[in-house]
Structure 1
């Protein structure tokens, strides 16, 4: 509860109408599926966080988020049962679309796909982007060990390119996490490395160049990419096989959200890789609890140059998502 006086300037929402491109939601059916699959501590986190629309809206008002683009976080919707991911994808996308229809000036939808089932995923992508009017697609870094950039995803990339879709990437635990996680929650180390691995593969496989009309959003201030970019670029030049790529140019063309700990080190490194027009605000709510979102928002706003602040918080996102361009919220 906010106990500050309304006359206290520090009590005003810090973000002033931001668009949050990294916000998560749950449906009751998704919670049930996670519990039945034994996923009660997703990716080593202590619990499945609480979420409901009213709580989300109250949090958004407190922090100053105008629009939250809702997506399903890791571990996603595939819990191993044949056909279940297809039905669960329809459920979460239908519920997300209902939330957007009820409050189109407050919520957006990044739809989930039942990968690695490619025929069902192609059908659901068409349905979500067409019938449901989803704002984009959320993709994990890998599905059962096959990372984005693998040839198996070519049909999907072709469809998303044709649709000029926005694709928000989200990390998930690698298949070998038991050996590499060292007993820590996977979002601490494994998520940044998995994001870096997936984006590097998208570039080195030539996927980004083959499908230039897909707008990819990389989470968590680019993960480890800003500090590994030059290393990846040099190794790309040493390869005898594979398509020619310009790693640094491809990285600079991506969009990056600032969810998590962008300060004090990640954001300056990211701005050495790309420029401010590629940056977007992200909260990672509710996996990042409301008090932490508030605590991260204030220094971020203060650190952003006033010349770019509005674009980073909302302008870039409104240009990226067609539905948000010129959108005015009702009283």
Structure 2
């Protein structure tokens, strides 16, 4: 692209306070080191990669590291930092607010503050909150409030509640698994059929959900819920949106485009956790892919995100 046009819905921010708290806990992102970040570096990268605006989020492990009070304080600090970056660079930076699940009361309070006072563009949720997936019945009050507000929700994977594969950081393999796991959990527990105002983005092309969706829909009536049809399940699965971060590849992109509804595929970079040269590879494939329908590439790069974030529309 010869000018910055893309809207990047999967780009990360590294607030200093968040990095410091993780370091104090001896934590990283599932065995993946926390990189340096600055607004200047982010904008330089975006200019080089044809990105007009990045909607930024904190990645796994999120803001709840084990203690509710600490998580509420950290969420507030992270969200205020992101809001300042967006205020300083309104055309280039947006923000998904972090909330301290599994503390539902804290999550409701922080979502309200971030959306109403800070002007966040949406909310980011980790795929599991200390082993509890997003279809958990205790999370209903949060889903109901986010639905009432017509919120855009970005789901980022976290390390699943199991040991890492030896020598294999969670982002390499476990993250795509956990995205799929929480999306299916949400569908089987009715989140996607009850809350029709939600716009839910799944990271990394939805993990392996597009590839396995018809397996899920075919088996659900037979072994889980005979009152639901395969068409019901597929309809709920197709309500999700998907970003292209680390997923615009010769095998993943055709599967994603074959499954996703029109307008439900959005550009994502995963910078700075994904190195810029990796992003360049995926961008090249997006720019040269011969299988796009008319207007589909433009929708992925920008148009579909404009529909979700009207303030970014040109």
Give the alignment's TM-score, normalised by structure 2.
0.94
Q: Does 1:134 align with 2:120?
A: yes
* 1:240 Cα offset (Å): 5.5
Which of 273-282 and 99-108 deviates more? 273-282
Aligned equivalent of 1:310: 298
Alpha-carbon contact 1:71-1:109 (below 8 Å) kept: yes
Shift of 1:276: 4.0
Query: Aligned residue for 1:222?
Result: 206
Q: Residue in 2 aligned with 1:113? A: 99
Q: 2:62 aligns with which of 76, 90, 93?
A: 76
- Find the aligned partners of 1:23 and 1:111 in 2 and give their Cα distance: 13
- Cα distance in 1, alignment partners of residues 254 and 98 from structure 2: 32
The match for 1:200 is: 184
The separation in 1 between residues aligned to 2:86 and 2:226, in whole angstroms, is: 42
Q: Is the 8 A contact 2:4 2:46 kept in 1?
A: no
Contact in 2 for aligned 1:177/1:186 (Cα 8 Å): no
Does the alignment pair 1:248 with 2:259?
no
Give distance in 2, aligned partners of 1:171 and 1:238: 29
What is the rounded CA distance, in whole Å, between the counterparts of 1:109 and 1:175 in structure 2?
27
Within 1, Cα distance between the matches of 2:207 and 2:237?
12
1:238, CA displacement in angstroms?
A: 1.4
Paired residues of 2:4 and 2:51 also in contact (CA < 8 A): yes
5+ unaligned residues in a row in structure 1: which ranges?
A: 1-12, 327-331
Distance across 2 between alignment mates of 1:323 and 1:191:
30
How far apart are residue 81 of structure 1 and its match?
3.1
Any idea what SS the aligned residue of 2:158 has? coil
Query: Paired residue for 2:313, among 321, 325, 330?
Result: 325
* Aligned residue among 13, 31, 34 for 2:22: 34
Aligned to 1:43: 30
Q: Deviations over 1:108-165 (max 9, x none)?
A: 1100001111111101001111111110000011101110011011000000000000
Give the match for residue 217 of structure 2.
233
In 1, the alpha carbon distance for the partners of 2:78 and 2:101 equals 14
User: Where does 1:268-279 land on structure 2 (aligned, <5 Å)?
Assistant: 268-279=254-265
On the 8 A contact 1:276/1:312 being kept in 2, the answer is no
Contact kept? 2:248, 2:285, Cα under 8 Å: no
Indicate the structure (1 or 2) with the bigger Cα radius of gyration: 1
* Structure 2 CA distance for partners of 1:240 and 1:94, relative to 1, 3 Å: closer
Task: Tell me how large the CA RMSD over aligned residues is.
Answer: 1.6
